[in-house]
Structure 1
Amino acid sequence: MSFFSDKWRGIILCAVLAVPCWFLGKLVPVVGAPVFAILLGMLLALVWPVQAAFKSGVGFVSKKVLQYAVILLGFGLNISVVLATGKQSLPIIVCTIATSLIVAYGLHKVMNIPGKISTLIGVGSSICGGSAVAATAPVIKADDEEVAQAISVIFFFNVLAALLFPWLGTVLGFSTTSGEAFGIFAGTAVNDTSSVTATAATWDAMFGLGTATLDKAVTVKLTRTLAIIPITLVLGYLVGKREQDANHEVNIRSIVPSFILYFVLASLITTLATSMGVA
């Protein structure tokens, strides 16, 4: 019963809010469920601040459940297939990730943006939106407000990208008879999976390409997702080293987050199962 009183009220509250947002995200994929959830949470907070009885459960969802979601994301990654089909776009992905992180760091210095928020926005923008933020937040010990701000910024630009990129693709002169070029463009430049899907599907519909653009964009997007692994490990090492220098003790768990290792394990399970014909 103590578990119920401490956590279940907040967990149930989050579930009640999440279900309608999930359906809204399906109906309007260009916006996505996370944006609806953030907006609903902001509106709810204005009229009904979270009570003490719910805080434990809400904190559990915002920390642990997000980490579990990142682990489950690993089961959708077949590493061998992604690398085999995405190697063409790998140089572009590496360059865009590096550029995004450098720009985020530069804006952090020039505009005095808080370090954790700039890190979350940089990682989320360069890799895979909300999933990367969810993976990075516990590593750098970002609080709920910092996570919400980062996700809000990322998804705002996701919506703009989904609306403007098909028009921009025609201006840039991408081929309208093949979805490969625009698929790489959308999969590299748009952050969240739902927005990548919406953008690529719009291009397919505009020029009658079936699912050619969508297939290419999703493959590129999955290749980008793999960057979660080295990025979070590097950030975990830097944060852990800083704490080690301050406390004069080594904390291996802070240097190598356990849920990232489980994410890698989940990806390996999917890869092995697929290669053996199980999946």
Structure 2
Amino acid sequence: MTTFTDTERSVRFERLQLTFNQFHQRASGRAKTIFLVAVVLASSGLISPPLALVAGLIYGLTLAHPYQAESKQLAKFLLQASVVLLGFGMNLGQVMRAGGAGFLYTATGISLTLALGWISGRLIKVPQRQSFLISAGTAICGGSAIAALGPVMSASEEEMAVSLGIVFVLNSVALIFFPLIGNALHLTQTQFGLWAALAIHDTSSVVGASAKYGNLALAVGTTVKLARALWIVPLSLVTAAVNRRRNANTSQSKASIQWPWFILFFSVAAILNTYVPVFSIFYPALNRLGKAGLIVTLFLIGSGINKQTLGRVGARPLIQGIALWVVVALASLAAITEGLVHL
């Protein structure tokens, strides 16, 4: 049996430690390179928002994040800035015309969805903030609503990532099956556009599904969905006020309750895009910049999730998101085919 002196053991340990440090440095270098390349790729607009989130999740679950703190700070800023810039793609004239025709059932549908989300969240025992983000995303405008409300509620990265992930998965399902269902039920283009706007989470997916069905369906679906997206503004303000009041007499400082000032700038951007055409040459570029920023944000949020944080979330939010979406889709379809909801 070979024996080693203390000096030999010390030398061997130092060599082993050196080898480990070299391996760690190489792995860290690769992780940094992959991270930076992914951020550049996301900002280029060459990948879709769902793919950016999935890529971020794969990165966070397989590699040690070299910029964890910096990524969180950047994601928070980009999320709010992107929401503001998305306002430059909203024409309030079209939105108001579509929204005015369906104001009552839009308000009713959003209220009922939020109430059903609250009930289902309590029944399935989904954490309150997570449940509200999923419910708001289902009720209003998917990822945009979650992006706007997350900072207001001080939602964690895992809460944001899971909510966004659920929305994007269901968007993909809707893109495939909604046109098939519409054709099978012989929905008119107006009926299908209205159903898509009421039941599909994100505007981009509403556009995709409606475009497959026809030009009229596309026009109806886009305008009604944009009208619903405006409800992000009052819901964000109400949410901030409720949070502030709820925490007024607790140990949480009022200063820590975030007011959604970026929603005000979002509204200003929409007003400029609609009523100040003198700078209209810049608005499409700003809107595209907002979309690119949101894609980068999704990668950053996903990259901040690791196995430990994902394990704490569990399957309950996914169950709630699917159940809530199915109920909303079926109820809105029944209301449209029975003539209870129409334009």
Q: TM-score by structure 1 length?
A: 0.81
Higher relative CO (Cα under 8 Å, sequence separation at least 6) belongs to: 2
State whether residues 10 and 56 of structure 1, in contact with CA within 8 Å, keep that contact through their aligned partners in structure 2: no
Per the TM alignment, residue 38 of structure 1 is displaced from its structure 2 partner at its CA by 1.6
Instruction: Give unmatched runs, 5+ long, in structure 1.
Output: 1-7, 25-32, 205-210
**Cα gap change, 1:11/1:249 in structure 2, threshold over 3 Å: closer, same or farther?**
same
The answer to whether residue 42 in structure 2 is matched with residue 18 in structure 1 is: yes
The residue that corresponds to 1:50 in the other structure is 65
What does 1:1-279 align with in structure 2 at a 5 Å threshold? 12=36, 15-19=39-43, 22-24=45-47, 33-51=48-66, 54-175=67-188, 179-204=189-214, 211-247=215-251, 250-251=254-255, 254=257, 256-274=259-277, 279=280
State whether residues 233 and 255 of structure 1, in contact with CA within 8 Å, keep that contact through their aligned partners in structure 2: no
State whether residues 108 and 114 of structure 1, in contact with CA within 8 Å, keep that contact through their aligned partners in structure 2: yes
State whether residues 236 and 257 of structure 1, in contact with CA within 8 Å, keep that contact through their aligned partners in structure 2: yes
Q: How many residues align?
A: 249
Please report the RMSD computed on the Cα atoms of aligned residues, expressed in angstroms: 2.4
Per-residue CA distance 1:218-266 (angstroms, 9 max, x = gap):
1111101100001111110111112222148654x83632111111221
**Cα gap change, 1:11/1:70 in structure 2, threshold over 3 Å: closer, same or farther?**
farther
**Cα gap change, 1:62/1:81 in structure 2, threshold over 3 Å: closer, same or farther?**
same
**Partner amino acid, structure 2, of 1:151:** L
State whether residues 151 and 258 of structure 2, in contact with CA within 8 Å, keep that contact through their aligned partners in structure 1: no
**Partner Cα distance (2:221, 2:38) in 1:** 32
**Partner Cα distance (2:208, 2:170) in 1:** 14
Per the TM alignment, residue 109 of structure 1 is displaced from its structure 2 partner at its CA by 0.7
SS at match of 1:199: helix
Question: Which structure is larger by alpha-carbon Rg, 1 or 2?
Answer: 2
**Partner Cα distance (2:37, 2:81) in 1:** 18
Instruction: Give unmatched runs, 5+ long, in structure 2.
Output: 1-31, 281-343
Per-residue CA distance 1:6-62 (angstroms, 9 max, x = gap):
xx9999566235147x323xxxxxxxx2211121112112321212xx123311232
State whether residues 186 and 196 of structure 1, in contact with CA within 8 Å, keep that contact through their aligned partners in structure 2: yes
**Partner Cα distance (1:64, 1:233) in 2:** 19
State whether residues 178 and 196 of structure 2, in contact with CA within 8 Å, keep that contact through their aligned partners in structure 1: yes
Per the TM alignment, residue 70 of structure 1 is displaced from its structure 2 partner at its CA by 0.6
**Partner Cα distance (1:92, 1:163) in 2:** 26
**Partner Cα distance (1:272, 1:16) in 2:** 34
- Once the two structures are aligned, what percentage of the paired residues are identical? 31
Per-residue CA distance 1:143-182 (angstroms, 9 max, x = gap):
111100001111111111111111222343312xxx2221
**Cα gap change, 1:88/1:122 in structure 2, threshold over 3 Å: closer, same or farther?**
same
Per-residue CA distance 1:70-108 (angstroms, 9 max, x = gap):
111112222233102332233332222122211210111
State whether residues 75 and 269 of structure 1, in contact with CA within 8 Å, keep that contact through their aligned partners in structure 2: yes
SS at match of 1:246: coil
**Partner amino acid, structure 1, of 2:73:** F
**Partner amino acid, structure 1, of 2:250:** A
**Cα gap change, 1:152/1:141 in structure 2, threshold over 3 Å: closer, same or farther?**
same
4+ residue runs over 4 A deviation: 8-14, 247-251
Per the TM alignment, residue 110 of structure 1 is displaced from its structure 2 partner at its CA by 0.2
